[in-house]
A and B are shown apart, each in its own frame.
Chain A
């Protein structure tokens, strides 16, 4: 038994191997997370941040290495079987919820994540009460709209619901991939605040990809920087709190040999 909540051991992933589009996305990636770690991830475009999260989630099998979540080796498990360990929120607010289904049905799906599906009724009365209460904690007025179709909601509301769904069963690991990037600044701040609250309240272990270096510094207890498919910088605790954006930029410059002129990482400041 490992004491880590997440262990990535020497992960490799190559896309389109043997074609002209061959791309090594992950290359000797190692990462260990302690329980309760809230890690922000930064790195340039194509550094492999999303690929790392997708590898953990099992969107496709990795080419090499081992993935252990909460002591369970999940390397060979298909995506839907890993879901029981994970909560995920995506960049596109459309991805995390089922638009044609109601808020309560979406939450019901999350509350049954990883459980055997039966012929019992999909949403019970007692659950609705629980959902109402959880929604009211979001403070978005969604608690009175349990039976509204999610497709009618705004992007921010949908991300908030996706967050709620992701955290519903206290997953071993919460994966947030630029989940505020598609939102306007005000909504993004609100969703980020909700994320913080949810992580803290449920003492979740979380990985959050962001292009905003300030957010990366102010949120979470640990920060990693990725480059060319692996971690090049890993900082936590007091050292992380003391970081400045300029420190990160310098690190990044060193790693990438100064070629970051067009990178979103710059623009995000």
Chain B
């Protein structure tokens, strides 16, 4: 009895390194989600498409003999283009943000199929080359390969996080955060809010593309369905990170840097929970629903808190023109 339990637990432990690797790769995506959702205050559903686009592009390039390094750079750039499409649909054509991103996402489904020629394309290392990520590395008997893979991923993430931290501290980054916080004020301060939105969507989707490119190599294939629900996983990672480490991060000098790290840890925890669900033999099909419920609960908390605690006293008296009317007038 005890023995079988131990063996079983052992199988969970065996799954853990894989979960960590998945969490790290999806952590890149989660950072992108943090940028759009938290900093720009834009619900970007492009990710479900651009994640798979990054995967499709990288896999087809690697299959054609291109270096996986170049493949992920191209996937990064193509992801950025996907974000630009959403951004332009929203800013120049006036389509509401969520809808603009859904339109891009849907067309990317067709584009991804066209890129791959079919719904699923396997990828293996070509002669004389190696993939940048692989489940095979995680389970590798050679401790060196295993260590190199994890160290490489972690170093890569630290670089990405640091660059992101720096970028959002620059003049452009500051303008992006202002846009996400208060568009009226931003315009009054001469910020081209449309430009800032497009730039942010490009960067975040480039991250999605990169994440997809690595994840396809990790699982050995690109699949048109692989981005399904990616936004929920990204949001779950962001929320887990914020809930567990939010107050810790806020106290740090480089709070935003720590926040980004916590988002990646949130992503890792998500995949550990996922592995545990499978290990408990709970139906894994329910995982997406669980994630959605968790995200819904945590998104609702701040709203409910505000609703049931007293509203802050500073609020404008008779506002002559409701903001809605002003927004509408702007769209004339």
Q: Using CB atoms and an 8 Å cutoff, list the residues of chain A in contact with chain B.
A: 15-16, 45-46, 50, 57, 59-60, 79-81, 83-84, 86, 88, 90-101, 105, 108-110, 112-115, 117-123, 154-155, 158, 165, 181-182, 264
Contact = CB atoms under 8 A, between A and B. Distances in A.
A165 B182 CA distance: 15
Interface core residue of A80, A84, A90 (most chain B CB under 10 Å):
A80
Q: Which 8 A-B pairs have the closest CB atoms?
A: A83-B190, A155-B314, A92-B316, A122-B174, A98-B181, A182-B316, A113-B190, A114-B190
Nearest to A81: B190
A98 B187 CA distance: 12
B192 A95 contact: no
Nearest to B171: A117
B332 interface: yes
Contact of B188 (A45, A83, A264): A83
Contacts of A93: 314, 316
8 contacts: A50-B320, A91-B320, A93-B314, A99-B182, A113-B190, A122-B169, A122-B174, A155-B314
A108 B174 contact: yes
A46 B320 CA distance: 8
B53 to A, nearest CB: 27
A12 to B, nearest CB: 14
A118 B171 contact: yes
Nearest to B328: A16
A84 B189 CA distance: 8
B2 interface: no
Contacts of A154: 314
Nearest to A85: B190
A50 B177 contact: no
B330 interface: yes
A96 B188 contact: yes
Interface residues of B, number: 34
B319 A91 contact: yes
B174 A105 contact: yes
Interface of B: 167, 169-175, 177-178, 181-182, 184-193, 314-321, 326, 329-330, 332
Contacts of A97: 182, 185
A95 to B, nearest CB: 5
Given A117-B191, A120-B171, A122-B173, 20 more contacts: A15-B329, A50-B321, A59-B330, A79-B187, A79-B188, A80-B186, A80-B187, A83-B189, A91-B316, A92-B315, A92-B319, A96-B185, A98-B181, A112-B189, A114-B190, A118-B172, A121-B169, A122-B169, A122-B174, A123-B174
B186 to A, nearest CB: 8
Contacts of B332: 60
Contacts of B187: 79-80, 83
B182 A95 contact: yes
B188 A57 contact: yes
Nearest to A175: B188
A205 B187 CA distance: 21
A94 B174 contact: no
